[in-house]
C-alpha cells in the first residue's frame, strides 16, 4: 500500500485508494473463510509510508477476528520502523489476533495444530540466511509452516532453496516477493503453477493488485486448505484485483486495409472497465499506407479521449507511395525524397505531407 505510481500523474491517488480498498476487501470479506491469514512481506511499499496509512491498515485488521501474521519484507523491513508502528497501532486497538513478526523465532499456534516459522527481513538489502535457524521437528510442532520473503535460488539474485520444505522438514513454505506472472498466465509460470508448487510444498503468494505496466495479471490472493495431518488438499488463486496494467504490442502489415478495426477490436475487450483504473501501454510497429495511417490516427485520437491512462508508442513506418504520384516533375520528386529521408519527421507528419501532396498534385500540374 501507498505505492507512489509516479508515472500516472494525477491519477495515482485513485490507484493508491484502490490498493487500500482491495486490502479491505480481502481482510473484511474473505479472511473469515480461513483459519489463518499470512501476509508474506511488503504490505507497505516504501519507508516513507505515512502513519495514517499504517493505522488505516491496522483499523481493518483489528475488525477481523481471523488470526493474522504480518511479515516485514524488503519494502517495509524491520529497520524501516513500519513494523513497530503497525504493531503499536494494533496494540492500541487490542488486536491480539494479529502478530507482526519482527524476529526469526517460532510462533506456536496450538489451536490450529501448527507452528509458524517467519523470516522477517531486517533491512532493505537483507541477504542473510532466512532458514538456517529453523529447528528440527518435535512432536509439539504440529505441522510446520515457513513464511519468507525473497526469490528462489533458481532466479537471478535468488537465495531461497526451492527444496526448502524437504531440507528443513516443513509441511509448507509460503513466499512473498514475486508479485505475479507478468504474462498473466500463472499456469505457464514455474513460480506460480499450482501443480509445481504443490509438488515442492512451496508457494508464492500472489499480489492482490498488479502495480506496474509489466504486470499483465489480475491481482489475487492464494487460498490453501490443509487436512488435519498437514497435507495439502486444495489450493486456488482468488482474483480480487481491480487495477489493470496492460502492455501490448501490435505490428501492422503494409497491405492491412482496416487497421482501425484492429484497434477497435482491441479496445472493445475493455468495455465496462473503469478507465481511471486501467493503465494501457500500446506499442504499434510495422508499415501502413498513408491513407491507412491517417484513418488509424483518427481512431487512436478517439481512444485517447476514452482512456486517459493510454500510453501510445507509435512506431509505424509509411510505405513508399512515390509510384502513386507523378514523379516526372522534379519538384515533386525532390519533395518526396526529402520526406522519406528526413529523420526528424515522425510518421504522423509524413502522413500529413503525403496527404497534402495528393490533394494538390492536380493544381501543381
Return the HEC string of 262-324.
HHHHHHHCCCCCCHHHEEEEEEEEEEECHHHHHHHHHHHHHHHHHCCCEEEEECCEECCCHHH
The grid coordinates listed for 29 are 470479506
- 166-216 pLDDT, tens digit each: 999 999 999 999 999 887 888 888 999 999 999 999 999 999 999 999 999
Where is the domain boundary, 187, 218, 239? 239
Return the biggest CA–CA distance within the chain.
Answer: 98
Stretch 300-317: mean pLDDT: 92
323: confidence class by pLDDT, cuts 50, 70, 90: very low
Q: How far apart are CA 209 and CA 17, in angstroms?
A: 12
**Residue 35: how many other CB atoms lie within 10 Å:** 15
How far is Cα 230 from Cα 21, in angstroms, rounded to an integer? 33
Question: What pLDDT sits at residue 125?
Answer: 92
Q: In sequence order, which residues have a C-beta less than 8 Å from that of residue 329 and are 6 or more positions away?
A: 364, 365
User: Does residue 316 share a domain with residue 233?
Assistant: no
Distances (CA, A) of 287 to 96, 257, 323, 345: 63, 11, 17, 16
Tell me the pLDDT tens digit for each residue of 247-279.
989 999 877 778 899 999 999 999 999 999 999
Q: What is the mean pLDDT of the chain?
A: 90
Residue 340 has pLDDT above 80, yes or no: no
pLDDT tens, position by position, 93-140: 999 999 999 999 999 999 999 999 999 999 999 999 999 999 999 999
What integer pLDDT is reported at residue 364 of this predicted model?
58
**Is residue 288, in this structure, part of any structural domain at all?**
yes
- Last residue of a domain, which of 213, 239, 265? 239
Q: Of 239, 256, 285, which residue constitutes the final position of a domain?
A: 239
Q: Same domain, yes or no, for 129 and 261? A: no
Give yes or no: residues 159 and 225 share one domain. yes
> Could you tell me the pLDDT band of residue 157, with boundaries at 50, 70 and 90?
confident
Residue in the structure block whose three cell numbers are 507523378: 326
What integer is the mean pLDDT of 149-157? Answer: 91
**Residue 150 burial class via C-beta count within 10 angstroms: exposed 0-12, middle 13-18, buried 19 and up:** buried
Rounded Cα distance, 38 and 73, in Å: 13
Q: Structural domain tally of the chain?
A: 2
Residue 75: give the domain boundaries.
6-239
| Any domain includes 228 | yes
Question: Region 297-311: what's the mean pLDDT?
Answer: 93
Amino acid at each position: 500500500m501507498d505505492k507512489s505510481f509516479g508515472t500516472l500523474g494525477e491519477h495515482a491517488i485513485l490507484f493508491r485508494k484502490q490498493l487500500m480498498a482491495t486490502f479491505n476487501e480481502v481482510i473484511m470479506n474473505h479472511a473469515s473463510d480461513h483459519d489463518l491469514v499470512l501476509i508474506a512481506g511488503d504490505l507497505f511499499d516504501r519507508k516513507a509510508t505515512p502513519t495514517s496509512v499504517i493505522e488505516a491498515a491496522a483499523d481493518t485488521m483489528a475488525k477481523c477476528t481471523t488470526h493474522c501474521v504480518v511479515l516485514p519484507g524488503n519494502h517495509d523491513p524491520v529497520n524501516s520502523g513500519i513494523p513497530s508502528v503497525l504493531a503499536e497501532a494494533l496494540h492500541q486497538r487490542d488486536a491480539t489476533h494479529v502478530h507482526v513478526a519482527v524476529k526469526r523465532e517460532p510462533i506456536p499456534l496450538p489451536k490450529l495444530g501448527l507452528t509458524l516459522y517467519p523470516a522477517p527481513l531486517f533491512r532493505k538489502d537483507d541477504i542473510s540466511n532466512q532458514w538456517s535457524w529453523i529447528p528440527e521437528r518435535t512432536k509439539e510442532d504440529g505441522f510446520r509452516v515457513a513464511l519468507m520473503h525473497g526469490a528462489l535460488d533458481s532466479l537471478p539474485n535468488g537465495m531461497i532453496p526451492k527444496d526448502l520444505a524437504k531440507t528443513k522438514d516443513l509441511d509448507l513454505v509460503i513466499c512473498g516477493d514475486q508479485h505475479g506472472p507478468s504474462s498473466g498466465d500463472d499456469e505457464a509460470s514455474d513460480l506460480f503453477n499450482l501443480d509445481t508448487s504443490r509438488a515442492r510444498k512451496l508457494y508464492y503468494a500472489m499480489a492482490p493488485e498488479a502495480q506496474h505496466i509489466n504486470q499483465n495479471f489480475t491481482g489475487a490472493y492464494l487460498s490453501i486448505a490443509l487436512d488435519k495431518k498437514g497435507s495439502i488438499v486444495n489450493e486456488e488463486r482468488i482474483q480480487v484485483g481491480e487495477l489493470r496494467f496492460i502492455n501490448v504490442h501490435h505490428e501492422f502489415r503494409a497491405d492491412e486495409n482496416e487497421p482501425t478495426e484492429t484497434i477497435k477490436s482491441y479496445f472493445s475487450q475493455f468495455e465496462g472497465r473503469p478507465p481511471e483504473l486501467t493503465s494501457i501501454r500500446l506499442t504499434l510497429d510495422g508499415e501502413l499506407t498513408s491513407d491507412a495511417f491517417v484513418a488509424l490516427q483518427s481512431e487512436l485520437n478517439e481512444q485517447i479521449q476514452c482512456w486517459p491512462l493510454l500510453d501510445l508508442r507509435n512506431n509505424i513506418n509509411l510505405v513508399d507511395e512515390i509510384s502513386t504520384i507523378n514523379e516526372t516533375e522534379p519538384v515533386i520528386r525532390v519533395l518526396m525524397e526529402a520526406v522519406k529521408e528526413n529523420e526528424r519527421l515522425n510518421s504522423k507528419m509524413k502522413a500529413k505531407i503525403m496527404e497534402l501532396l495528393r490533394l494538390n498534385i492536380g493544381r501543381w500540374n
